[in-house]
Amino acid sequence: MEKPSKIAPAKGKLGVLLPGLGAVSTTFIAGVELVRKGKAQPVGSLTQMGTIRLGKRTDARSPLIKKFVPFAELKDLTFGGWDIFKDNAYQSAANAGVLNPQDLEKVKPFLSTIKPMKAAFDRDFVKMIDGPNIKKGKNKYELALQLKEDIANFRKTSRVSRLVTCWCGSTESFVKPEEVHSTPEKFIEAMKSNHPAIAPSMLYAWASITSGVPYANGAPNLSVDIPALQTLAHDHNVPICGKDFKTGQTLMKTILAPGFKARMLGLDGWFSTNILGNRDGEVLEDPGSFKTKEESKLSVLEYILQPKLYPQLYGKMFHKVRINYYPPRGDNKEGWDNIDIFGWLGYPMQIKVDFLCRDSILAAPIVLDLVLFLDLAQRAGMRGIQEWLSFYFKSPMTAPGLYPEHDLFIQSMKLKNTLRWMKGEELITHLGQEYYD
């Protein structure tokens, strides 16, 4: 990929389209509005609060990232979305119960104006929920064309100059890549024939990409991680990224596991269990949807610890993940981890982690950052898979044949070095020998 010669300015409004107007989406939208009103801080957002070191440590150049690269401003964001329920964003946020009533009241008039478009939905992929606000069509291709029409109408009525789509919908049943996913032509034929391997999230991805709109996949669904849609992203000059927002338990794994590996501490086993009571937890009661999530969560340790390279330390590790739907907990997910490690001479030790997190509170700033970074990438002429955004995902997309990088600290360095590269600044390796010449 060639270095961007120039990044186009962020002129006009940026439309944000969200398939799934549930807990994550409404927490994100309400949060942005509260920040715009000066009622809250965008904690957790790298684009809003993060800094980036430029040059040597002795240069003392560490501007805010939002002062270093030309992001769209929060005041220019406009929101839309699709959902299987007819509730507006305020009603949906109140039902989700993530934000307290006092905060929601401050943005009630704004949230009440955001009403979901009818969703492309298939109960074969999400078995545990259903709703009345659903598109009808003779086949999946017709539904995808209706989504394209929605995108065009939103662009026109909202008077936005650019758009980004971020999937915030439910986890779909597990799908493996098939021949129908291999080329754009076969993909279209599969939509027309209602092929069972074409999931609803793929329809949103196809509609967005062919409309020139960047697409982020916040769930572990296969979605945009197929050759047909990646080819289209390249042809339409559209950046894409995914999969599965890295929020609670997996975030902790990508922080702790690199530390064990760096210090050459062994791992016998890692048992993880979760309880959560939101719509995500309800959806994951279905074995097909859980299989999709399990695949995403299990891959992390294998790639970070590289047991084939370190068989004495990680060759026999046992990794288990459990997710349990527990309605009283609501969106306040609890993740328990029992970690059996061993050190010098093989002596065993244990670490216990009990993370009482708020799932949507952790996910909302990820949505904001991905929207702003994808818009920046498109204005910089970048297209296809944006691996530098792996920082935000449990199961990062990569070029074919390339293993994903899960180590949070390597991901962070990759992201910031990409920004330096985009702006013609020297990349930072942390070698530092020049300070001792």
C-beta of residue 236 within 8 angstroms of C-beta of residue 322: no
Tell me how far apart the terminal alpha carbons of the chain are, to the nearest angstrom: 35
Mention the CATH class of domain 249-356.
Answer: alpha beta
Q: For residue 331, what pLDDT is reported?
A: 80
**β-strands 77-83, 334-342 pairing:** unpaired
Residues 6+ away with beta carbon under 8 Å from 250: 296, 297, 300, 394
Token pair listed for 406: 């899960």
Order of strands across the sheet that contains 334-342: 318-325, 266-276, 334-342, 348-356
**β-strands 162-167, 14-19 pairing:** parallel
Residues 6+ away with beta carbon under 8 Å from 149: none
Q: CA-CA distance, 395 to 377, in Å (whole number)?
A: 20
Domain map of the chain by residue range?
14-245+360-422, 249-356
pLDDT digits (tens, 9 = 90+) for 159-186: 999 999 999 998 898 899 999 999 999 9
C-beta of residue 249 within 8 angstroms of C-beta of residue 355: yes
Low-confidence ranges of the chain (pLDDT < 70): 1-2, 281, 284, 288-290, 292-294, 296-297
C-beta of residue 133 within 8 angstroms of C-beta of residue 116: yes
**β-strands 384-385, 239-242 pairing:** parallel
Domain 14-245+360-422 falls under CATH 3.60.15.10: no
Nearest CA to 252 among 365, 314, 320, 339?
339
DSSP 7: P
pLDDT digits (tens, 9 = 90+) for 75-84: 999 999 999 9
Task: Supply the DSSP string of 261-282, one letter for each residue.
Answer: HHTT-EEEEEEEEEEE-SHHHH
Q: For residue 391, what pLDDT is reported?
A: 98
Q: CA-CA distance, 412 to 424, in Å (whole number)?
A: 18
Q: For residue 26, what pLDDT is reported?
A: 98
Q: For residue 53, what pLDDT is reported?
A: 98
Same fold, 14-245+360-422 and 249-356: no
